[in-house]
Amino acid sequence: MSYKHCDSIVKSVIESFVERSEVGKKKYNTDLDRTDLSINDWLQHAQEEHMDAILYLEKIKNVVNDDEKLLGLAQPHRHKYTFYDVMYYNYSYARLQLSNITDNIIQHSHKIVLAICDKYYND
């Protein structure tokens, strides 16, 4: 498959996966083609990875919330907006969006893990 016509974001993600694979191979001296793990082992690895991701997302949410509390969302009323005002509001909006995104990822991660467990244990 050729990735020449992919956008820069897709290329960046592909490069990140390749780099992550190389680091994992060097660190653990194996890769995902290994056959020595059971389904339970793979589920355990996946669960631990998702738990770590959820912890990272919770940390990001806390940092975002703490920053918003420290900075305060109310600004004095002005007729003219300075460069700082524009940057501050854009920054606050971006942080709010990041917080919403992390909430969604956490909710979906829980659903995915539960679905995998449900499928595995009901089959």
How many H-runs (helices) and E-runs (strands) does the chain carry?
Answer: 3, 0
pLDDT (mean) for 41-65: 87
From residue 21, how far is each of 15, 41, 54, 85 by CA, in Å?
Answer: 10, 19, 21, 43
Cα 95 from Cα 65, distance rounded (Å): 9
Length of the chain: 123
Cα 4 from Cα 10, distance rounded (Å): 10
Give the model's pLDDT for residue 90. Answer: 65
pTM of the model: 0.48
**For 9-27, what is each residue's pLDDT tens digit?**
888 888 888 998 999 999 9
Cα 108 from Cα 103, distance rounded (Å): 9
Domain boundaries, the chain: 1-35, 37-122
**For 79-120, what is each residue's pLDDT tens digit?**
455 555 556 666 666 777 777 777 777 777 767 777 776 676
